[in-house]
Amino acid sequence: MPAKIQVLFDHSDFIVVNKPPHLAVQNEESQEGILPIICKQLNVEKLWLVHRLDKVTSGILILAKTAKSAALFGDLFEQKQIEKYYLALSDRKPKKKQGTIKGGMKKVRDGKWILDISTTQFAATQFFSFSVAPSLRLYLVKPLTGKTHQIRVALKSLSAPILGDELYGGQSSDRTYLHAFVIRFMYQGSPISITCPPLEGEYFTHQKTETLLESHQQPWLLNWPKPAISPLRQS
């Protein structure tokens, strides 16, 4: 873990930080979480979590400075007014190279989730993928919903579990290759757009991966399918 957490954007109402991988958002028995670490780093008494990242996931995390701004973000997320784009790497061949993955999220044993054909806990995830090396693909992922483990389960359903994500059958690696890359939203009339390339991971910092990322700094410009809520699993 770095000595200091990288602050990507500092607003009077909130901050945006780059969460390292392997760091939980809140305290665990054996490890301090990012929230108390950032409070100490900035010498503030309290910050509010307005969304979460899995412990294994790195990248963009918004923390509100006041209860009022936390409530505003709650409304933005509920109304789906915040666009989020993630990066993932897999060393497995996917069933398809782009599209939408849809389904109901069902919890199973060992803290895992699966997709089924129900509409309970419905999740929808869009993605494009790009070849990095003969057995390595970069996924640019846009979740349309915000369910626990959503992207990890989506790529698993493509037979392309995320590299390093052993919980979902991914190959062991130096980290789980999932990163919150870009976030876009309007905050009280002002457009906010933040890009955060990954800093950690041998394959994320590989020259070919970095070259691909350079050409996709504005992922919203890609020809994403129009969002459609449907119980169908894939389209």
Query: Exposed, middle or buried by CB within 10 Å (0-12, 13-18, 19+), for 140?
Result: buried
Examine the pLDDT at 179 and tell me if it is beyond 50.
yes
Region label for 169, one of left (φ > 0), alpha (ψ between -120 and 50) or beta (otherwise) = left
pLDDT-wise least confident of 77-81, 119-123, 127-131, 202-206:
119-123
The percent of residues above 70 in pLDDT, for the chain, comes to 95
Q: Residue 230: which of 112, 84, 125, 91 has the closest Cα?
A: 125
d(CA 83, CA 223): 15
Taking the CB of residue 1, how many other CB atoms lie within 10 A of it?
13
> Does residue 232 fall inside a structural domain?
no
Cβ neighbours around 109 below 10 Å, total: 5
Q: Residue 223 pLDDT > 70, yes or no?
A: yes
Q: Is position 230 within any domain? A: no
Query: Is 197 part of a structural domain of the chain?
Result: yes
Nearest CA among 210, 150, 158 for reference residue 178: 150
The whole-number average pLDDT for the span 13-26 is 94
Q: Is residue 235 part of a domain?
A: no
For residue 230, pLDDT beyond 60: no
Which pLDDT score, from 0 to 100, does residue 235 have? 40
Q: Residue 30, Cβ neighbours under 10 Å: how many?
A: 6
Distances 52 to 107, 173, 180 between C-alpha atoms, Å: 18, 23, 11
Which domain covers residue 32, as residue numbers? Answer: 6-221
- Cβ within 8 Å of residue 130, ≥6 positions away: 137, 138, 140, 212
CATH code of 183's domain:
3.30.2350.10
For the chain, percent of residues with pLDDT exceeding 90: 83
* Mean pLDDT to the nearest integer, 201-212: 93
- Answer whether residue 211 is part of any domain: yes
Q: How many domains does the chain have?
A: 1
Q: Is residue 177 part of a domain?
A: yes
Catalytic residue among 54, 91, 110, 174: 54
Task: Report the pLDDT value the prediction gives residue 26, as an integer from 0 to 100.
Answer: 83
Q: pLDDT tens digits, residue range 105-117? A: 999 988 899 998 8
Establish if 227 belongs to a structural domain: no
190 exposure class (CB count in 10 Å sphere: 0-12, 13-18, 19+): exposed
54 is catalytic: yes
**Per-residue confidence (pLDDT) for residue 228, from 0 to 100:** 56
Q: Is residue 233 part of a domain?
A: no
